[in-house]
Structure formats: structure tokens, C-alpha cells
Amino acid sequence: MIIEAENISKLYGSDENKVIALDRVNLKIAPGDFISIMGPSGSGKSTLLHILSGLDRPTTGGLFYDGKEIYSFGDRELSAFRRRKIGFVFQQFQLLPVLTAKENIMMPLLLDRKQPEEAYLAQLTELLGISDRLTHLPHELSGGQQQRVAIARALIAEPDIVFADEPTGNLDSKSGGEVMELLKSIRGKLGKTLVLITHDHRIAAMADRQFSIEDGILSEVTAR
């Protein structure tokens, strides 16, 4: 799935309070790309990720998935698009506290009235090392384990692309390293597109394509 961002800008406030979070960003993501976006706090990297993943509308510009402008979709269509085509990994894990690890993982499928393919679920949880944690509630898991569950949830619906918002930001360095290795390895095995934002140079360096963002202006650090 090819993702194209064309002249995307995002403005907050008005008049003297106006803040330009993103300034005419252009970006093309090819299938299988591993992209990192790095920048200091308030640079606009999270805003860009939210717009790219269909969570927040740009003020101007367009976002196309295989040539289709996704912000022209209605709520139902856009929601379905997100749960079928996009996976998310958040910094704060964002697991639903009343659901077990397995139920959290299955959630995107359940919303589509689908049941998980047991073999795929087993493969995924095996890869992430959480097979024996599936009946645990989030508060019974460590931070690293919670993030693995979140990764499994992002991948269960076999999306084309995974967006990760500082996935190691809330983990210690050991767990953070493990999570990144897992993300890399799964991307390789499952052939997914991965877009992550970070302010960690080492993590950013793992990506095939590295971008930096400052004052809302995006620039690619590595040439393809």
C-alpha cells in the first residue's frame, strides 16, 4: 500500500496565538518501508504520525492511501479502514484494563465480528514471547510485556502498516531494546510497513529511511 502525504499543514489557534505544527509536509511511503521520524518535543512528529494514521485531519493538504483520500471517508469507513489496514503501538501501551491480554489482542478483529485465526495468534504471541501471559490483565503485566501485547494487537488484523509512537518511551533501556528488536524482526518476517517516531538516535538509526522534523518542517536524513 502506497501512502502519499501532499502538502500537509496543521495549524492550531488563530491570529497571534497561531501555531504551525506541520508546514507543507510531503512524504511518500512505499510498501515494506521502515521509517523513523525523529525530532525534539513539540517539533510536530506526533502530529504528523496522527495525520498519517488517519487520527487527525490536516488543516490543508491531502493524504492518499493507494490514491484514495482517506479523510474523505465517513466515520464508519475511516474506523474500519484503521482497524483493517493500520496497526498502532502507543508509548503508554494503552491496553484496555478490563480485558485480558488475549482479549486486548483480539479487539480489532472482534470489532469486525471476526474471530482470530488461532495459528496466527499462536505464532504472533510466540514471536512476542507472551504465550503464557494471555489470560493476564494489563495491570498484572510488566511494562515490556504490556508493550508486546500492544504490538500483537497492532498486528492481529494483519494490517499493511504499523505506526509506533515512541514505543520504547515508557520502558527501561533493556525492555526498550527488546521491544525494538521484536518490531524489527516481525516487520521482516511479516513484511509490514513500519513508521515510528522517536527522539532516540539509536532507535531512529535502525530504520531504513530516517526523517527529522523541526518546527513542523520534515526532511529526510537518509537518501533512498
Partner 1 sequence: MNSYRTLAWKELRAQRVTSVLILIAVILSTVMTTVIGQSIGILNAMQQSQAINLNGNRYATLHQLTEEQANQLSMDSRLSYAERVISIGRADIKNRKISVLLREYMGNALSAYPSDAQLNSGRLPEKAGEIALPQNVLDMLAFQGELGDSVSLDLNISRLKDTEAGYTYTRDFVLTGILKSNYVGYVSGTVHGIVGAGTAESVLPDRYMRYSVDIRTAEKKSFQSTINELALQYGIPEYCIQYNDTMLSAAGIRYQSNADAETGTGFSYMVLTGVLIGTLVLLASGLVVYNILKIAVMKRVREYGVLRAMGAEKGKLYLLVSLQLAILCGIGIPVGILLGLLSARGVTTAASGFFNPAVFLAGSEAELAAMIAEHAGSKMLPLLASGGITIVFALVSAMPAAQYAAKVSPTLAMLGQTTTIRRRNRNPKRIRSFEAFYARMNMKRNRGRTAVTILSLVMSITVFVALQSFSGLLDASKDVQKMHLGDYSVTSQGIGFSPEELAELKNVSGIQSVSTLKYSLYQQDENGKLIGMETSIRLQPGETMQVIGLDEERLEGLDASLPESARQALRDGTACFIQNPIPISVDGVDAKNTVISAGDKIAVNGVSLNVIGVLDSPVTLENEGFVNGVQIVAGDSVYDEMTLKNEYTELYPTLTQEADRSSVEQAIQQLCGKNGGTWLSYANTDRQLMESYEQIRLLAWGLILFIGLIGILNISNTVYTNIHTRVAEIGVQRAIGMSAGSLYKTFLWEGAYYGMIASVIGAAAGYICTIFVGSAQTDTVQLVSIPFRSIAEAAVISIAACLTATYIPLKRIAKMNIVESIETVE
Select the residue interacting with partner 1 from 19, 111, 122, 205 (CB under 8 A).
111
In the complex with partner 1, the residue whose CB is nearer, 96 or 205, is: 96
Return the range that interacts with partner 1 (CB under 8 A); candidates 12-20, 73-81, 167-175, 204-212: 73-81
Count the neighbouring beta carbons within 10 Å of the beta carbon of residue 197: 27
Question: What is residue 59's three-state secondary structure?
Answer: coil
Select the residue interacting with partner 1 from 26, 59, 60, 135 (CB under 8 A).
135
Count Cβ atoms within 10 A of the Cβ of residue 199 and give its class: 0-12 exposed, 13-18 middle, 19 or more buried: middle
Shortest spacing between CB 88 and partner 1, in angstroms:
6
Give residues with Cβ within 8 angstroms of 130, minimum separation 6: 101, 145, 148, 149, 152
Separation in Å, CA 159 to CA 62, 88, 94, 192: 21, 10, 19, 8
Return the range that interacts with partner 1 (CB under 8 A); candidates 87-95, 118-126, 183-191, 193-201: 87-95
Nearest to 28 by CA among 6, 59, 58: 6
> Does 224 interact with partner 1 (rule: CB under 8 A)?
no
Return the range that interacts with partner 1 (CB under 8 A); candidates 28-36, 37-45, 79-87, 123-131: 79-87
Select the residue interacting with partner 1 from 18, 98, 118, 219 (CB under 8 A).
98
Question: What is residue 12's three-state secondary structure?
Answer: strand
> Does 122 interact with partner 1 (rule: CB under 8 A)?
no
> Does 79 interact with partner 1 (rule: CB under 8 A)?
yes
Euclidean distance between CA atoms 191 and 202, whole angstroms: 22
Shortest spacing between CB 79 and partner 1, in angstroms:
4
Give residues with Cβ within 8 angstroms of 78, minimum separation 6: 54, 70, 71
Sign of torsion over alpha carbons 146, 108, 85, 124: positive
Return the range that interacts with partner 1 (CB under 8 A); candidates 59-67, 101-109, 119-127, 173-181: 101-109
Give the binding site for partner 1 (CB under 8 A).
50, 53, 55-56, 75-76, 79-84, 86, 88, 90, 94, 96-100, 103, 106-108, 110-111, 113, 115, 135, 137, 139, 153
